[in-house]
Amino acid sequence: MLSRDLGYYDAMTYLKAHEDFPENPPNEKRMDMRNNYIGADIGQTQKANSELAMMCLRAAQGGKLALL
């Protein structure tokens, strides 16, 4: 939704800043950033919230999202 509402680059700037803190374990940061990129790509479709949620769910069920 951030990508849809703010635009891809502004959303990624915000999400990257959210992950940049010294105590953030590197493996968690990698996972979150990968998932943020996928979510931002999905958000660019400009669909309604419910459709975006379903697309994210399908990405998770399809193994596209990183997990620890």
Which tens digit of pLDDT belongs to each residue from 7-65?
Answer: 999 999 999 999 999 999 999 999 999 999 999 999 999 999 999 999 999 999 999 99
Neighbouring C-beta atoms of residue 51, cutoff 10 Å: 12
pTM above 0.95, yes or no: no
The contacts found for 28-33 with CB under 8 angstroms, 24 or more apart, are 28/68, 30/66, 31/66, 31/67, 31/68
